[in-house]
Chains A and B, each alone.
Chain A
Amino acid sequence: GAVVSQHPSRVICKSGTSVKIECRSLDFQATTMFWYRQFPKKSLMLMATSNEGSKATYEQGVEKDKFLINHASLTLSTLTVTSAHPEDSSFYICSAFWEGSNTEAFFGQGTRLTVV
């Protein structure tokens, strides 16, 4: 099956700094990627839809200036958490959609962000 690689798997950063998370589709071109946030023992909450070559579409309540998304190529989307605060600590997961996959989404391994 298709592989989506997410990096880093774990990151610790200081309050006020920014951290970038990468999501790569390794063996297919992903026209659309999605970013989710998962709190401990909770479900995945969709943050934004990332479309190659255009601006991301953010879900209601998600601060687009804090969570910057860039989808510069068909194989890479990045999520940058700017001016991170402890409340941004969470598990972030990306998924990629390939038109030939019959609507199956392929998920990255996730990134555990801890802001100290």
Chain B
Amino acid sequence: AQTVTQSQPEMSVQEAETVTLSCTYDTSESDYYLFWYKQPPSRQMILVIRQEAYKQQNATENRFSVNFQKAAKSFSLKISDSQLGDAAMYFCAYSAYNNNDMRFGAGTRLTVKP
């Protein structure tokens, strides 16, 4: 079974600074997808960024980027120029290539200090 581990229950960053959230996963598959989702207080799940495992290039979405290390099964999220609106729970998620049910990590609560 696939597992997703987020070892940082809480993280804090100063506004305008950079923060990295960690995620590791375990799978025997070679093709799969990895995601970072943001869950603000409204509880609505918002996709932040997605990475296809077959792509070597790290995904980037504006201030959000990932460091995907397939051999190490690591998938960290870097948030640059942190903003107050970035404060939320962040979940790392895994989805197999041919099976779309997502498995989520325990989450990291990010606090942004003004």
State the interface size on chain A (CB cutoff 8 A): 21
Cβ–Cβ < 8 Å partners of B106 in chain A: 42-43
Interface Cβ pair total, 8 Å cutoff = 46
The size class of the interface chain B forms with chain A is 10 to 19
Q: Is the interface of B mostly helix, strand, loop or mixed?
A: strand
Nearest Cβ on chain B to A32's Cβ, whole angstroms = 6
B44 in contact (CB, < 8 A): yes
A49 in contact (CB, < 8 A): yes
Contact of B104 among A44, A49, A103 (CB under 8 A): A44
A34 in contact (CB, < 8 A): yes
With A42-B106, A43-B106, A43-B107 known as contacts, the answer to whether A107 contacts B101 (CB < 8 A) is no
A26 to B50, CA, bound (A): 23
Nearest Cβ on chain B to A102's Cβ, whole angstroms = 8
Contact (Cβ within 8 A) A104 B102? no
Contact (Cβ within 8 A) A103 B100? yes
Contact (Cβ within 8 A) A107 B44? yes
Which residue of the partner chain B has the closest CB to A97?
B100
